[in-house]
Structure 1
Amino acid sequence: MLLLRLLLASTVTFCFSTFAYGASLLAGDEVQALRDIAKTMGKKDWDFSVDPCSGQSGWTTPYPVKGLENAVTCDCTFFNGTECHVISIVLKAQNLPGKLPPDLGRFPYLQEIDLTRNYLNGSIPPEWGSTKLVNISLIGNRLTGSIPGELANITTLKSFTVEYNQLSGILPSELGNMSSIERLLLSSNYFTGELPSSFANLTTLTDFRISDNQFSGKIPNYIQNWTNLDKLVIQASGLNGPIPTGIAVLGELTDLRISDLNGSEAAFPLLNDLTKLKKLILRSCNIVGQLPIFLGTMTSLKTLDLSFNKLSGAIPDRLSGLQKTDYIYLTGNLLTGAVPLWMLNKGDQIDLSYNNFTVETSGQPECQKRSVNLFASSSMRNTSGVVSCLRSIRCPKNLYNLHINCGGKEVTLDGSATYNDDTNDVGSSSFFQSSHNWAFSSTGDFLDDDRPTKTYIWKNSSRLSMNNPELYMDARLSPLSLTYYAFCLGSGNYTVNLHFAEIMFTDDKTYSSLGRRIFDVYIQGKRVLKDFDIVKVAGGIGKAVKQNFTAVVTGNTIEIRFYWAGKGTTGIPYRGVYGPLISAIAVDPDFIPPPEDESGGISIGVVVGIVAAGAFVILLILAILWWKGCLSQKNTMEQDLRGLDLQTGKFTLRQIKAATNNFDAANKIGEGGFGPVYKGLLADGTVIAVKQLSAKSKQGNREFVNEIGMISALQHPHLVKLYGCCIEGNQLLLGQKNIGCNWIGQ
């Protein structure tokens, strides 16, 4: 294509020099043809008062804006420079609203038609099969229907690109007869069926892309015939694995991207001869086994993405040859062992999260210690499932809600819910812990990124007309996987509200409105949304939509994950626009939280009530013991206690004396008719209240033991729980656990 453009540029230069002398003119029938196709496509700014080959008045843009191009190129060498013919029509990003012109055959020397990123609709005209086109580019329009088999008649065709349209149907087998084709780009359409067996004949291919379609069948092994292939992209195509073994002979490959394959598990493909690879993406391909050592010999690699497979074992030492690789993603596998130091030193250029690595933290929370993303490695989880690097966050109480303004500043809605600030624009693969009870982990890097701002937070530039627009003015983005993780939540059922609004596409009749953002959503590990398209569900661009789900919290945590499975457009309005986008998250309980948690502490009234209830129970126990006569010999009492399966403990007199400082008067907190009450502190830090009972009760041993068993089994939030007892010599002691504030509660 570069050679073709250089050739056309030299032809233009010759055209300009001859036209300056007034000798070269575009053939009259082609001038009329330009008028006709302009009407068909909706092109209104061509100035026919001057010759179209003049390079003036809108016929060409000498210094085009990035992405926008407007050029009619002529060859003026005919009849000794007296006649010109159109050889190229390039109208990029013109927002043309019409249809594709069927009569390109009226330009007998036309080699290129490039209508990239417009608003054209209709189908591809089969009449184009009679042309001598070399390049057809229709990227980013509204084209529908199938690809006409007549295009195979264009023996000169080298490049056919129709990505980001709405084309459908099966691929005609006639396309396998395109003897000169080098670039066949079909991604982000709705093609179905299997790849035709005739495609085995496309031995001139250098670039083949079929991502985001609905094909069926397996990746054909005949791709081994495409020995000139430089780039192969098969992401979320609908095809099944495994990756064919024939791929190992494609030694010219520099860019290999295969992801989201259906089918069974398979071993890592043998790619040791693909030494020219710069980008290797084998993501979510059901690959099992260990990381192959030959990866360490691929010193030309700039991007390596093997995430979300089932790779296991340790990282081989010989992978150190990848130290100069820009980005490495091993996210979501079963890898174990220690992480090599050279990997830890790569910062956010590497992502090792969601594996089973052992990480030495040296006493410092690992997800704060290093910028490399190791979030949720096994060494970062304790037995309750809480990520250990979050242990620095102490939960003095259970929390019962969570509100995050994803990508935006803190806002309060109508004086009620306050949505936390989430404006930290972290790097490609990072972990971020907020000052509240949540954190997030982001994975991936935007490939082929052509966005004006390299950011993971998108800010809307126009006003939004909706309820609570402040929640939707900003959004957090991720190129692959974004997980929000909340902790300190009380157990129970919660309603999770996810707020979305598409703010990266435009709400007008331009190519910028034609993008499709598609991703999946998981809550607590369960997929709750598949192939979620914000625009489709919301009913338009810039419109809010809220999706509600129920989540069960049993371990104080909740996990909300957004994942790009390779679907949707990746180049509208420019390359690098894809992946999950989330505007806000709200998590609220489906139950009434306990008053003490809801108020942030126990009220004075509750404390007084608890103390009064506790004192009453203690006096009741003493009265019963005194009346029953529970004094008996020590050995008989102990035998009775051992015979009873008590829900309480047993203390020695030595322990009680140590806890009360030998019944120090300074620890005395009360005096009743049946004995004093002391504050005590056990060796494990438990604060108890110790009631010293009289040893002269007439109650029998059996009655005393039965009463203790009954009281110890009582469970009520307003009753002081019996913690243990002491029977030694003539001492009868009851210890009750602290439940209030200060020494009385916990």
Structure 2
Amino acid sequence: MKCFPSGNGCFWFMFLANLVFVLKCSLLAHAMLDPIDFLALQNIRKSLEDLPGSNYFASWDFTSDPCGFAGVYCDGDKVVALNLGDPRAGSPGLTGRLDPEIGKLSSMTELTVVPGRVFGCLPDTLSQLKNLRFLAVSQNFITGEFPASLGSLQGLQTLDLSFNQLTGSIPYSIGALPALSNIILCHNKLSGSIPPFVSQYLTRIDLKHNDLSGSISPTGLPPSLQHLSLSWNQLTGPVDVLLTRLNQMNYIDLSKNRFIGPIPTELFTFPIANLQLQRNQFSGQVRPTNLVTIPTIDLSFNRLSGEISPMFSTVQNLYLNNNEFMGQVPASFVDRLLASNIQLLYLQHNYLTGIEISPTVEIPISSSLCLQYNCMVLPLQTACPLKAGKQKTRPTSQCIEWKG
């Protein structure tokens, strides 16, 4: 077409040509992401807002390529990871709900929601994310029953829904996930029993601060486990057979439950850094066969009896208070205490009859010793925790009755 200065036809032709060019460029920019993923991200954005002080969504301008948005990671034309919220410590996080359209991001392998005020139920559509390996929505206000649909995510490796308000039981389908390596559900309102876990890759279970009950099957946890935290629940039954199988453990916290029975001797040979068994109903004698190398052991507030084993004298922080131990405190404890090798030794509220220590000796300032409320006249006065009470010695009638 020829163009003449006085003709309107050329003007409109050039205008239309430029308009087509602009539209093509816009479509190309959006075509970098799959249209289904593009629309899913739009819906996710509409259902969430920055809390005051957060600027996470400032980059979510849908006139540009969403693969450049904060927290959005793509492989080709698909979203493969979505980290919602600024991950830096102290960020205010987000508020709103997780839109069900999140389940349309079919190639996603990782979903994280940073701590904030996201509320409502987890959408059932998460079960559509068959490639999901990492799911973390912690320290928010997620409510509703634990979504059983997550049990269909056969590739899931890490599940962290801690510090929310989830209710209901942990589905057996979660325990059956074959690739699970970390499950962190602490600080919720979960009830019911703990399902058996079958994954041979499982290294961490954290279910503390819930309302779980019932006993744990002797084969309910895999030998691969290294970190086990079940404190502040209402779990019952013996655990000696179960614990004997978990010889890879480096952290155990079963405190504040209702476990019963003996504490297995083998437990004290495991590579554990911290052993918390306090405030249960464990009973019987505790007799390690070798010097114990676990730095911190808390067996307080149980029903343990017999004499205190000298094998515990190598423990740096040892809580044996509020049990039924009797007899003399081994001399090796005194030696290591005076050499500052023991930092804390709590033996109060037992039936101990003596300790060979000079009344004039000075306990190192870095060490703490409490002996009160036993069947002995205290050889020296030491600072005890306030909850130990004011009585220095147990009533004679109790000591005679116990010895008899």
Whether the TM-score (by the shorter chain) exceeds 0.5 is yes
SS in 2 for 1:216: strand
Which residue number in structure 1 is paired with residue 142 of structure 2?
Answer: 143
Give the Cα–Cα distance (whole angstroms) in 2 for the partners of residues 346 and 357 of structure 1. Answer: 24
Give the Cα–Cα distance (whole angstroms) in 1 for the partners of residues 329 and 361 of structure 2. Answer: 17
The one-letter code matched in structure 2 to 1:109 is: S
Give the Cα–Cα distance (whole angstroms) in 1 for the partners of residues 35 and 360 of structure 2. Answer: 79
Within the candidate set 283, 286, 289, 1:291 is matched to: 286
Which residue number in structure 1 is paired with residue 192 of structure 2?
Answer: 193
Cα pair 1:368 1:389 within 8 Å, conserved: no
SS in 2 for 1:483: helix
Aligned alpha-carbon RMSD (Å)? 3.3
Within the candidate set 38, 41, 48, 1:34 is matched to: 41
Give the Cα–Cα distance (whole angstroms) in 2 for the partners of residues 280 and 115 of structure 1. Answer: 32
Which residue number in structure 2 is paired with residue 704 of structure 1?
Answer: none
Are residues 165 and 357 of structure 1, via their aligned partners in 2, closer, same or farther at CA, if it must alter by over 3 Å? Answer: farther
Stretches of structure 2 lacking an aligned partner (at least 5 in a row): 1-28, 392-404
Which residue number in structure 1 is paired with residue 301 of structure 2?
Answer: 308
The one-letter code matched in structure 2 to 1:268 is: I
Within the candidate set 389, 392, 397, 2:381 is matched to: 389
Which residue number in structure 1 is paired with residue 237 of structure 2?
Answer: 241
Give the Cα–Cα distance (whole angstroms) in 1 for the partners of residues 376 and 138 of structure 2. Answer: 45
Are residues 208 and 366 of structure 1, via their aligned partners in 2, closer, same or farther at CA, if it must alter by over 3 Å? Answer: same
Give the Cα–Cα distance (whole angstroms) in 1 for the partners of residues 232 and 283 of structure 2. Answer: 19
The one-letter code matched in structure 1 to 2:48 is: M
Q: How does 1:213-612 map to 2 (within 5 A)?
A: 213-224=210-221, 226-262=222-258, 265-272=260-267, 275-294=270-289, 296=291, 298-299=292-293, 301-320=294-313, 323=314, 325-335=315-325, 336-339=327-330, 340=333, 341-344=335-338, 345-346=340-341, 348-355=343-350, 356=352, 358-360=354-356, 362-364=358-360, 371-378=367-374, 389=381, 431=383, 441-442=384-385, 483=387
Give the Cα–Cα distance (whole angstroms) in 1 for the partners of residues 101 and 31 of structure 2. Answer: 24
Which residue number in structure 1 is paired with residue 116 of structure 2?
Answer: 118
Give the Cα–Cα distance (whole angstroms) in 2 for the partners of residues 310 and 176 of structure 1. Answer: 32
Give the Cα–Cα distance (whole angstroms) in 1 for the partners of residues 122 and 187 of structure 2. Answer: 16
Deviation at 1:166, TM superposition (A): 1.3
Give the Cα–Cα distance (whole angstroms) in 1 for the partners of residues 231 and 205 of structure 2. Answer: 12
Give the Cα–Cα distance (whole angstroms) in 1 for the partners of residues 30 and 95 of structure 2. Answer: 36
Which residue number in structure 2 is paired with residue 96 of structure 1?
Answer: 94
Deviation at 1:234, TM superposition (A): 1.5
Give the Cα–Cα distance (whole angstroms) in 2 for the partners of residues 186 and 334 of structure 1. Answer: 35
SS in 2 for 1:222: coil
> How many percent of aligned residue pairs carry the same amino acid?
23
Q: How does 1:659-678 map to 2 (within 5 A)?
A: none
Deviation at 1:365, TM superposition (A): 8.5
The one-letter code matched in structure 1 to 2:124 is: P
Which residue number in structure 2 is paired with residue 17 of structure 1?
Answer: none
Give the Cα–Cα distance (whole angstroms) in 2 for the partners of residues 116 and 357 of structure 1. Answer: 55
Count of residues in correspondence between the two structures: 346
Give the Cα–Cα distance (whole angstroms) in 2 for the partners of residues 23 and 282 of structure 1. Answer: 57
**Which of the two has higher C-alpha Rg?**
1
TM-score (norm 1): 0.42
Give the Cα–Cα distance (whole angstroms) in 1 for the partners of residues 268 and 182 of structure 2. Answer: 23
Deviation at 1:120, TM superposition (A): 1.5
Which residue number in structure 1 is paired with residue 396 of structure 2?
Answer: none
Give the Cα–Cα distance (whole angstroms) in 1 for the partners of residues 269 and 99 of structure 2. Answer: 43
Which residue number in structure 2 is paired with residue 72 of structure 1?
Answer: 72
Give the Cα–Cα distance (whole angstroms) in 2 for the partners of residues 140 and 193 of structure 1. Answer: 22
SS in 2 for 1:289: strand
Q: Deviations over 1:652-686 (max 9, x none)?
A: xxxxxxxxxxxxxxxxxxxxxxxxxxxxxxxxxxx
Deviation at 1:140, TM superposition (A): 1.5
Cα pair 2:318 2:344 within 8 Å, conserved: yes
Give the Cα–Cα distance (whole angstroms) in 2 for the partners of residues 207 and 233 of structure 1. Answer: 8
Are residues 295 and 28 of structure 1, via their aligned partners in 2, closer, same or farther at CA, if it must alter by over 3 Å? Answer: farther
Q: How does 1:151-166 map to 2 (within 5 A)?
A: 151-166=150-165
Within the candidate set 203, 206, 210, 2:207 is matched to: 210
Give the Cα–Cα distance (whole angstroms) in 2 for the partners of residues 270 and 102 of structure 1. Answer: 51
Cα pair 2:206 2:230 within 8 Å, conserved: yes
Give the Cα–Cα distance (whole angstroms) in 2 for the partners of residues 273 and 381 of structure 1. Answer: 32
Give the Cα–Cα distance (whole angstroms) in 2 for the partners of residues 104 and 485 of structure 1. Answer: 56
Give the Cα–Cα distance (whole angstroms) in 2 for the partners of residues 346 and 173 of structure 1. Answer: 46
Are residues 178 and 105 of structure 1, via their aligned partners in 2, closer, same or farther at CA, if it must alter by over 3 Å? Answer: same
Q: Deviations over 1:455-487 (max 9, x none)?
A: xxxxxxxxxxxxxxxxxxxxxxxxxxx527569
The one-letter code matched in structure 2 to 1:308 is: F
Are residues 28 and 326 of structure 1, via their aligned partners in 2, closer, same or farther at CA, if it must alter by over 3 Å? Answer: farther
Stretches of structure 1 lacking an aligned partner (at least 5 in a row): 1-21, 60-70, 391-430, 432-440, 443-481, 488-746
Deviation at 1:273, TM superposition (A): 8.2
Cα pair 2:250 2:271 within 8 Å, conserved: yes
Which residue number in structure 1 is paired with residue 181 of structure 2?
Answer: 182
